[in-house]
Amino acid sequence: MTGKERREQLLDVGRRLFAERGLDGTSIEEIAAQAGVSKPVVYEHFGGKEGLYAVVVDREVDRFLSMGTALLSGDDTMEKFEVAAVALLRYIDENSDGFRILVRDSHPASGSGTFASLISDIASQVEYILADVLKRRGYDPKLAPMYSQMLVGMVVFAGQWWLDVRKPKLEEMAAHLVNLAWHGMAALDPKPKISPEANRMLKDHPKPW
């Protein structure tokens, strides 16, 4: 193999092992053995398993962000969000190793930070869309950062759950996600408050902690 081909092979092997076992559960010996090389070859290309892990994570982050940016461009229609939900689930389905790595905290050696920071990056893009949606419907657009975190977190972690159970079918799962997100936004209370009944219950019951 050329140096470039060997590097790509090591990335593929590392990606699969990290998805199965995580960083701590994967050894440099195992990476080298499954790639059919000696340990010094891995060190030569990445400086160790932490360096390999950082590159794997950064690649997945770039792929995920690029997908999110492309899907969220254009008008904010229900059809666009349906397409986005289906595309996200297809990404999870066809790229399960990469997604499993993303939902773990990234190693400090990675410049991309944790999965939470990735979610925050995606949410910041959704924020601009939601600000316009909220404003047109008479709500305070300053609430957009909060709602974008809620929506993106719901979709991504629902996707993580779906990856494990694989039910319902992909398109049906996407339809349910959009149903909750889109129609939930349509029925937003502009000034939600905890109900008097809930406040009474909180006063009448001791703290659970």
Task: Give the C-alpha separation, 53 to 100, whole Å.
Answer: 13
Amino acid letter, residue 109: A
Query: Are 55 and 112 within 8 A, CB to CB?
Result: no
Task: Give the C-alpha separation, 73 to 25, whole Å.
Answer: 39
Q: What is the pLDDT of residue 139?
A: 86
What are 46-100's pLDDT values in tens digits?
A: 999 999 998 998 888 788 778 777 776 767 778 888 888 898 899 899 999 988 8
Mean pLDDT, range 199-208, rounded to an integer: 81
Q: What is the pLDDT of residue 113?
A: 53
Residue position matching structure tokens 């982050």: 61
Mean pLDDT rounded to a whole number for the chain: 85
Nearest-10 crossing angle of helices 78-94, 144-165: 40
Q: What is the pLDDT of residue 72?
A: 67
In angstroms, what is the C-alpha Rg of the chain?
21
DSSP state of 167: -
Task: Give the C-alpha separation, 91 to 200, whole Å.
Answer: 46
pLDDT above 70 as % of the chain: 90
Q: Which residue has the higher pLDDT, 100 or 208?
A: 100
Q: What is the pLDDT of residue 110?
A: 46
- Residue 155 confidence class, pLDDT cut points 50, 70, 90: confident
Among the listed residues 103, 125, 128, 98, the one whose alpha carbon sits nearest the alpha carbon of residue 116: 103
Cα within 13 Å of Cα(26), Cβ side: 22
In the structure encoding, which two tokens stand for residue 143, read together?
Answer: 């609430």
Task: Give the C-alpha separation, 115 to 152, whole Å.
Answer: 12
- Residue 172 confidence class, pLDDT cut points 50, 70, 90: very high
- What are the structural domains of the chain? 58-204 (1.10.357)
Task: Give the C-alpha separation, 145 to 30, whole Å.
Answer: 43
Task: Give the C-alpha separation, 86 to 197, whole Å.
Answer: 39
Range with lowest mean pLDDT among 31-45, 69-83, 148-162 = 69-83
- Residue 112 confidence class, pLDDT cut points 50, 70, 90: very low
148 pLDDT more than 90: no
